[in-house]
Structure 1
Amino acid sequence: MGRSESERKGYINLVRILRYMTGKDVAYLVLCVLLIAAQVYLDLRIPDYMSAITTEIEMVGGSFDNVVDDGYGMIFCALGSLASSIATGFIAAGLASTLCKRIRAKEFENVERFSEGDMNRFSTASLITRSTNDITQIQLFVAMGLQIIVKAPIMAVWAVLKIAGKSWQWSAITVAAVVAMLVIVACVMYFAIPRFKRIQWMTDDVNRVVRENLNGVRVVRAYNAEGYQEDKFGKVNGSLTENNLSAYHSLAFMMPSISSIMSFLTLGIYWVGALLIDASGTYSGKLGLFSDMVVFSSYAMQVVMAFIMMVIVFMMLPRATVAAGRILEVIDAEPTVEDGVSEGPSDTKGEVEFRDVSFRYAEGSDDVLSGISFKASKGETVAIIGSTGCGKSTLVNLIPRFYDVSGGQVLVDGIDVREYRKDALRSKIGYVSQKSILFSGTVADNVRFGRSSESKSDDDVRKALDVAQATEFVSRMEGGIEAHIAQGGTNISGGQKQRLSIARAVCMDPEIYIFDDSFSALDYKTDRTLRRALRDVSGDATVFIVAQRIGTIRDADTIIVLDDGRIAGMGTHEELISSCDTYREIARSQLSEEELQ
C-alpha cells in the first residue's frame, strides 16, 4: 500500500472512530464550535479597539473618555475570550473522555468474544497498548485537536478578511511569511510523520518485553539472566528512543524557524509602514497609516498563529490516525467462533459425543486431532492420557468451544456445540484449566466467580472448598474465605491455586466437569482424597480428566489414549493394560509390576 493510500485510510479510520459519538456528543461539539467562533470574534475585535485608541491619542482634540470606553471594550473582549476558551476546554475534555470510555468498552467487549485462535492474532501486549496508549492518543486529539481544527481556519479566514485591502505591500509580506512557514512545516513533517506513526508499534514491543520479564521474573533470577533481559529490553527501548529523538529533533528546528518568521514579519510590516508614513503628505494620512499598521500587525500575527495551531494538529494527527486504525482492528475483528441460537434441552443431561472430529490450528498445516470418535454418557468419568503434545488439552477445549472443529461434530446433549449460544453451552460446564488462573479479590470471590455461581452462598463456597481439599489452608489465611488473593494468585502456592480453581468448578455445580491436567501440583494423598470427594458430589455429572499420572485416571469408566492426535486405545485401565501398547508403556514408567497386576 502506497504512502498516500495509507494516509487516506488512516484519516478514514479517524473519522470512523468519531462516529461513536452519540447525539449528545454531537450537540456538545456544535456548542464547542459556537464558543470557538465567539472566542475568535472577540480576539479579532481587540485590534479594532487598539486602532480606535491609537487614533484618539494621536488626534488633536481626541476624547479621553472615548479612550477609556475603548479600553473597557478591550477588557470585555479579553475576558469574554477567556471565558469562551475555558468553557470550550471543559466541554471538549468531557466529550473526549466519554467518547474514549465508549470506545474502550467496545474494544473490551469484542475481545471478550474472541476465541483462543482469535487471541493469537493480537499479542497480549498489543491489546493492552491498544486499550490504553492508543485510546489516550484519540482522547488527546479530540480534546485538543478538534478545537484547533475548528479554530485555526476560522481565525485565519476572518483575520485575512479583516486585513484585505489595507495595503498590498503588507499583504505581500504576510503571504511571503505564510509560504515560508508552510515550506518549513512541509519539510519537517515529511521526516517527522513516518516516525510518529511508528511510535505505537514500537510501544507494543516495549510492553511485550516488560510483560514477559515480569511474568517470568523467577526464572530470570534463577538463571541469572538479568543481563540478558536488560539487553533485550535495551534494544526495543533504544529503538523507540531513537525513533522519538529523530522525530522531535525535526520539530526542534521547526519552532525556532517559525518564531524567526514571525519576528521578520513584524519587522517587515513596520519597515514598510515607516516608508508609507514617510511618503504620506498629510497629517491625517500619516495618522491613518500608523493606525492601519498597528491593526495589520495584530491581524497578521493572528494569521500566523492560526498556521502554528495547524502545525500542532499535524504533530498529533499521525499518531491519532495510527491509533484509530489499531483500535478499529480490534473492534472490527469478527470472532471465528460465532454464537449459535440454541439454549439446549430443557432437561439437564451432560452427554458428550465426538463424531469423527478433526482439528487444526489456523496457522497450522497438519491436523492436531484426527478421526476422534467416542461418547461419554451422563454420569461417566472419561480420562484422556498420552504423551506431551498429542492433543489432550485441545480435545477437551473443543467441548466449551474455545476452538471450533475443522471437521466432524462435537455434540452436547445431542446438539452440535456450534448451534448453542456460547453462554448457554458454557453454563453447563465447570472448567479447570491447565494453568490455574485466579483473580484479584477474596477467596470467596474466586470460588464464586462467574455468572453461573454469583448467587451461591458462603455455605456453598465452604462446601466447594471442602471438596477441593482447600478448607485447611484457607482457614489459616487471615480472614478465611474473605482472605485476599493477589492478581494471578501470586500470594499462594501452585497446589493451593489448583485447589481453589477446582473449588470454583465445584461451586458452579455443572452438568459437565473438565479437568485439564488440574491435579498435577497435588501430592498423591491429596489427589486421591480430592477425587474421592469429587465422585461423591459430582453425582450424575459427566467428568473429563486430562492427566499424565496413571494413578489419577485408573478408576475412570473410560480411558482414551491419544497418540499423535489419534485414538491409540480406549477402555478401562485393565482392558488397556492388556490391549494397548502405548498405555502399557506409560503405566510401566509409573507403576511397579505388582501395581500393574
Structure 2
Amino acid sequence: MSQHPTFTSDFSDTLATNVQIPEVETSRLSSGLVWRIFTVRPLVRLGIISLACLSALCGLLGPYFQKLFVDAILKDSGANLPTERLILYISLAFIALLASQTLAVACKLVCSREGVLTNRWLSRSLYQHGLKLSQASRRSRPTGEFVNIFSQDVSAITMMIDELLPVAVMSFIPFIAAPVAVGFYFSLPPLPLAAVSTLSLTLLFVMAYRQSGFFIAFKRLATERLAVVNEWLQNIRILRILGWTELFEEKIFDKRRSETVNRLAMVTNGSGMSAFAQVAPSLISITGIASVVFTHTDVTPGEIFALLWVLSIFLSRPIRSLPFNLVMFLDGLSSARRLQTLFAMPLERGAEHPSLHIEPLYALDVKGLELTLDGVTLIKRLDLRLKKGEFVAIIGEVGAGKSLLLDSLLCEAPATFESYTIEGIDVLPLDLAALRAYFAYAPQEGFIMSSTLRDNVVFEYGASADKDEAVSRSLGLAAFALDSQAMSGGLDTEIGERGVNLSGGQRQRVSLARAHYNDRPIVLLDDCLSAVDVDTERLLLDGLIEGAWTHKTRLLVTHRLSVLPRVDRVLVMHHGAIQMEGTFDELMANSEEFRDLTRSMQDKKKSAPAQEGGNQV
C-alpha cells in the first residue's frame, strides 16, 4: 500500500541543524505552554542567562574604570600624569564595554536561533494537531481564527524567545545591578531614587498593561473580520444572486470601524507610553545627581561621570524598553492561551491500541455504523460489507445519507462503529492517516490547487517531472486530453485557484486521475460522474472504473442510471439506512419502489441542464 502523498512544507528543513525541540503530545500543550517554551532546553536557557549576566557585569566595570581614569587625570593637574596607569584604566574601560556589547550580541544570536526552533516546533505541533481535530472541533471555530493563530499567535509566542528573552534578561540584571553599583560608588539615601524609580516604573507598567489590552482586542477583532470576509468570499456568487452583498459588506465595515476605534486608542496610549519611557531615565538621573549634590560635599568629576553613565546610559535602555517588553510578554501570554485552547479541543481517534488482525473475509466490513449530528441521527446502525474487487453503487434521494456514509468510512464525520475492519485489520484503533491510507477518494467537487496540472495529480507542490509518465497515464485513463488548446502547456499548464479555468467535468476527471495515481486498494467515488456527458462516462467506465480498477474495491455514489446495470450490487439508501440491495436486474424485477425511484431519477436527469461536451477539455 503506497504512502499518502503530501504537499506540506518539510519543517525539518527550516534549519540546517541537528538541534531539535523534544517532541511532546499536543494534548499536553493545552496547559503550561509558556512555561514549557521557556524551559524546554534548560541548558541553553541557562547559557542565555549567563551571557546576559556577563554582559551586565562588563557593562558596570566600564564606568568604574572610566571613573578611575577621570579622577586620575583631574587629581593633580600640575603633577606628572601616571601615563601607564591612565592607559591601563582607559584600556580596561574599552575592553569591558566591548565585551559587554559582544556578549549582548551573542545572547541575541542564541535567542534568535532558539526562536526559529520554537517557531518550527509550534508550527509543526499546531499543524499535526489541526489534522487530528474532530469535525465538531473544526466546526466550532471559524476558518479565520485558524489562519490568525498560524499567522499571528505563533509569531507572538516566538517573539517571546527571540526578542523578549534576551532583552528581558539583560534589562532585569541592570535593574538589580544599578542600585548596587550606585551604592558601591556613593553612599546615597535610597528613598528619593527608589521613590522616583518606583513611580516611573509603575506608570509605565499601567500604560503597558492598557496597551496589551488594546493589542489583544486588535487581534480578536482582526480574527472576527477575517471570519466574515472568508465567509463572504466563499459564498460571493450566491450572495450576489440573492442580493445580500450589501448586508455582508456592512458587517465587514462594522468590524473595520471597531478595529479603527481600537487602533486609535492603541496608538494614542502607545505614543504616551513611548514618550514617558524616553523621559523616565532623565527623571531618575536628575534625582540621583540631586541626591549626590545635597548629601556629598566632596564629589569628584569621575564620580559624577560614573553616576551619569550608570543612570543615564546603563539603566536608560532597560527603562525605555520596559513597556514594550511588557506588551510583548502580555501579548505572548494571550497568544499562548489561544493556542492552549486549540490544543485542548477534542481530537478524532488516535492510535492508542495495537490493531488486531482478523482473517480477511471482506475488503471492507462495517457493523453498527451510526452518525448523529446536533442531536439528529443521520445514519442508523448501518452494516456494510464489500468483497475484494467488488463494484457497488449507492443511490437514493437527496439527503438520504449517501455522501455522509463515505465521510463516515473516512472518519471525516464523527460516526461510531460496533466494528470496522479493512482487509481483516481492525482499523478502529488506527490513527486517521493510517486508516485513510487504504482509500482513494474522488469527490463530486474535486479539490484543485493553484498550481500545475502535474502538481494537481501528484498532489504535491513542485512535483518532479520524473513522474510525468505515471501522471500522463492516470490522466489518459481519466479521459483528460492533454492535446487540446486549453492544455497547451501539457502537464506544466497552470490551473487557476480552485480550478476556475476548468469545467466541472474537468475538475472531476482530475480528481479521478489523482485517485488512480495514488493507487489505494479501496476507491470511494462520490458522484464523480455527475458533470460529464454520456460519452465521457463510457470512457471512464471502460478505461478506468471497470478497466484499470477491475481488481480494486469500488464504492460509487451516483445519480446516473446508466451506471447501475454495470455494477455488481446496488444499495438503496433512505433516511440514513440501506432500504434494499441487490443487482440492478433483481431490483428492477422485484421492487416496485425501486422502479419508482429510477423513474424519479430519470425525470430529474431530463430536467437538469446538459452536461459538458465529451471533447471539451
Q: Is 1:589 the counterpart of 2:600 in the alignment?
A: yes
Deviations 1:182-224 (A, max 9, x none): 3313432443333333344333223323433444455566667
How far apart in 2 are the matches of 1:456 and 1:268?
75
SS in 1 for 2:388: coil
Question: For structure 1, which runs of at least 5 residues remain unmatched after alignment?
Answer: 1-8
1:16–1:333: structure 2 CA closer, same or farther, 3 Å change rule? farther
Question: CA, structure 1 residues 72+11, in 2 after alignment: closer, same or farther (shift >3 Å)?
Answer: farther
1:5 equivalent in structure 2:
none
Question: Which residue of the other structure, out of 204, 216, 221, is the alignment partner of 1:202?
Answer: 221
2:537 matches 1:527:
yes
Q: Percent identity?
A: 20
Q: Does the CA-based 8 Å contact 1:390-1:563 persist in structure 2?
A: yes
| CA 505–350 in structure 1, closer or farther in 2 if over 3 Å, else same | farther
Partner of 1:35 in structure 2?
51
Residues 1:506 and 2:493 are matched in the alignment: no
Deviates more, 1:405-414 or 1:139-148: 405-414
The one-letter code matched in structure 2 to 1:31 is: G
Q: Which amino acid aligns with 1:13?
A: L
Question: Residues 592, 222 of structure 1: CA spacing in aligned structure 2 closer, same or farther, 3 A cutoff?
Answer: closer
CA distance in structure 2 between the aligned counterparts of 1:79 and 1:456, rounded to whole angstroms: 56
CA deviation vs aligned residue, 1:387-427 (integer Å, no higher than 9, x gap)? 33321111122223334533533433344431456455433
Alignment CA distance shift 1:64-1:251 (3 Å): farther
Q: Residue in 2 aligned with 1:103?
A: 122
Partners of 1:392 and 1:10 in 2: CA distance: 36
Does residue 160 of the first structure (1) align with residue 170 of the second (2)? no
1:397, 1:474 → 2: CA distance? 35
Match of 1:129 in 2: 148
What residue is the counterpart of 1:325 in the other structure? 337
- Asked whether the 8 Å contact 2:277–2:321 carries over to 1, the reply is no
**RMSD in angstroms over aligned alpha carbons?**
3.5
1:298 pairs with one of 306, 309, 313: 309
In structure 2, stretches of 5+ residues that fail to align are 1-28, 607-617
The answer for the alignment partner of 1:3 in structure 2 is none
1:422-461 alpha-carbon deviations (Å, 9 max, x no partner): 45543332211232013354433333348xx999954433
Q: Does 1:549 align with 2:560?
A: yes
Question: Are the aligned partners of 1:398 and 1:410 in contact in 2 as well (CA < 8 Å)?
Answer: no
The answer for the alignment partner of 2:70 in structure 1 is 54
**Counterpart selection for 1:373 from 360, 383, 389:** 383
Residue 443 of structure 1 contacts residue 484 of structure 1 at CA under 8 Å; is this kept in 2? yes
Q: Which residue pairs with 1:341 in the alignment?
A: 354
The secondary structure found in structure 1 opposite 2:347 is coil
Counterpart check, 1:316 vs 2:336: no
Alpha-carbon distance, 1:266 to partner: 2.9
The separation in 1 between residues aligned to 2:382 and 2:219, in whole angstroms, is: 44
Q: Where in structure 2 are the equivalents of 1:312-461 lying within 5 Å?
A: 312-331=324-343, 333=345, 335-339=347-351, 341-342=354-355, 351-361=363-373, 364-403=374-413, 405-420=415-430, 422-449=432-459, 458-461=468-471
Instruction: State the AA in 2 paired with 1:368.
Output: L
User: Structure 1 residue 545: deviation in Å?
Assistant: 1.1
The answer to whether 1:536 aligns with 2:547 is yes
Amino acid at match of 2:404: T
Residues 35-82 of structure 1, C-alpha deviations (whole Å, 9 max, x = no match)? 322221222223223422432343223627355553444333333333
> In structure 2, what is the equivalent of residue 6 of structure 1?
none
Match of 2:578 in 1: 567
Contact 2:209–2:326 under 8 Å retained in 1: no
- With over 3 angstroms needed to count, the CA separation of the structure-2 counterparts of 1:18 and 1:525, relative to structure 1, is farther
Aligned partners of 1:440 and 1:484 also within 8 Å? yes
User: Contact 1:355–1:374 (CA<8 Å) still a contact in 2?
Assistant: yes
Number of residue pairs aligned between Structure 1 and Structure 2: 569
In the superposition, relative to structure 1, how do residues 455 and 389 fare at CA in structure 2: closer, same or farther (>3 Å)? farther
Is the 8 Å Cα contact of residues 363 and 424 (structure 2) preserved in structure 1? yes
Residues in 1 aligned to 2:439 and 2:431: alpha-carbon distance in whole angstroms: 13
How far the C-alpha of 1:292 sits from its partner, in A, is: 3.3
The answer to whether structure 1 residue 16 and structure 2 residue 27 are counterparts is no
CA deviation profile, 1:459-505 (whole Å, cap 9, x unmatched): 43333222211135678523423433445334433221110111121
Stretch deviating more after TM superposition (222-231 or 247-256): 222-231
1:464 equivalent among 474, 488, 497: 474
For residues 290-311 of structure 1, the C-alpha deviation after alignment (integer angstroms, 9 at most, x for no partner) is 5434433332334464344433
Offset of 1:95 from its aligned partner?
Answer: 1.5
Deviation of 1:334 after TM superposition, in Å, equals 5.6
How has the CA–CA distance of structure 1 residues 190 and 111 changed in structure 2, closer, same or farther, with 3 Å as cutoff? Answer: closer
Q: 1:352 to 1:166 in 2, by over 3 A?
A: closer
